Every structure is written in structure tokens, then in C-alpha cells.
Amino acid sequence: MDFYEADIYPMKTKKKPVAVNIVLGLLALLVAGFFIARAAGWTGQKNEARLLVLVNPWNRISDELNPEFTIIEGTQMVDSRCAEELENMLRDCRAQGHSPLILSSYRDWSQQEELYQNKVSELMAQGLDRETAEAAAQRHAAAPGYSEHQLGLAVDIVDEEYTAFDEKQADTAAQQWLMENCWRYGFILRYPEGKSEITGVEYQPWHYRYVGLSAAEQIHELNITLEEYVDMFYA
């Protein structure tokens, strides 16, 4: 019987040096980390985009929206995603000696319809025909389906010492603090002065919209509206 060397000395597999195994392990971790971070980025962008849903006279609320709500300040209902930051903002404003008061938060369809029709009737009483009055009303009280208040992400905040919805609201102490600091809590002044042709709504120094911390900071730094921000980064 013939014997071969391979029968006596089986082939041995060479072991990779320890250093090589470490390098390969690190590469595997880096690759895994890259895909995890990328997936997290996608998730973050998706969540942010949900907060940036654009509602104005040209963009209607989607029928698929189904937010979860939280009650704050005893009676005010808001989207749960902004509740904690809103409470923090109000608390810090009060800590500075001011008196912010939420007069309006989430509105359902019937509430928005009532506000809109009241504004239309007011304008018609001033001599406008219905068609003109309806168009003009949109710049002050949105038609149902076109109001951010139906998202639960918008609130009307006034100073307790001056509760009127007019431009003088901007001169109150609470409003001055809110306009300067709201971005730190993920909110923006939604309808700033001089931007009505872009937003489709007249200047409202009391209407705040939650867009998330990152977007609010960028909008603040760029001094732009939500319409401009969405057009720049999400169009």
C-alpha cells in the first residue's frame, strides 16, 4: 500500500495574525456603524419632515393625519410631540417674570369653520361680496382644512396683561421674550412681519408653530419662514 505525505501530515490551515483579526473586526464595526448611523439619519429626517407639514392657503391638511394629543395648562390640547417643549417654554417665560397665556391650541373642523365664517360675515358687513370676503378672510382666519391649529402643533399665546389679537401684542413683555426665545424650544413665530405674501397670512405676533429643535434653530438663524425653509431643504 502506498502512503502519501498528505496522509501522514494533514494540511494545516494558516492562522491569521492577531493584528489582522483586530483590523478586520474594526472594519466590520465601522461598516456596521455607518449603516446604523445612516438608518438613524433617515429616521430622523422622516420624523422631522412629519413636523414640517406645510399648511397654508395653498396646502390643505391631509386626511391621513391622526396625531396623539396631550392636555396642558389644564384645558389646552396639543400634539403630544410638542407638549413637553411648550410647557418648558411657558415655564421659563414665567420664570423671567412674564405672564404668557395660551388662548387657542388644537381646533377641530367645526371650531375652525365657525371662526372662518364669523370672519367672512364681519368682512361682508363691511361691504365686501361673499367671494371677496372669503378670500380676504383666509389671511386672518383660515378656512377649515387650511389651518395649522387643526394639526395640534400651533398655539396662539398672548400676554395676560394684554390679550388682544392685534399688532400691539408684539410690544408686550411676554411676547417679546417668546419671539426672542421660542426657537430654543422648537417653535417659530409662524407669521412674521413683512412675510404675508409668502405665508399667505397677515402678521400675527401671537401664533407659534412647533417644527422641532433643529428646524427651529435653522429658521431662526436664516430669518426665514416655514415656506422658505421647506422649499430650501425639502422641495
pLDDT at 203: 97
Q: How far is CA 212 from CA 4, 72, 173, in A?
A: 75, 18, 25
**174's torsion region: left (phi>0), alpha (psi -120 to 50) or beta?**
alpha
- 30 vs 204 pLDDT, higher one: 204
* Dist CA 165 CA 160 (whole Å): 12
Q: Is the pTM of this model over 0.85?
A: no
Q: How far is CA 138 from CA 5, 127, 175, 178, 196, in A?
A: 93, 17, 24, 25, 12
Mean pLDDT of 153-157: 98
Cβ count near 42 (within 10 Å) = 10
> Percent of the chain beyond pLDDT 70?
80
88 within 8 A of 185, measured Cβ to Cβ: yes
Instruction: Say how far residue 151 (Cα) sits from the centre of its chain.
Output: 10
The x, y and z cell numbers of residue 117, run together, are 365664517
Kindly indicate the confidence band of residue 63, based on its pLDDT and cuts at 50, 70 and 90. Answer: confident
Extract the C-alpha cell encoding 171: 410690544
Q: What is the largest CA-CA distance in the chain?
A: 118
For residues 212 and 11, the model is more confident at 212
Nearest to 229 by CA among 203, 178, 195: 195
pLDDT at 166 over 70: yes
Cα separation, 40 vs 54, whole angstroms: 24
Residues in the chain: 235
| Interval 100-134: pLDDT, tens | 999 999 999 999 999 999 999 999 999 999 999 99
Give the E-state strand segments of the chain in sequence order: 69-72, 76-79, 100-104, 154-159, 187-191, 204-210
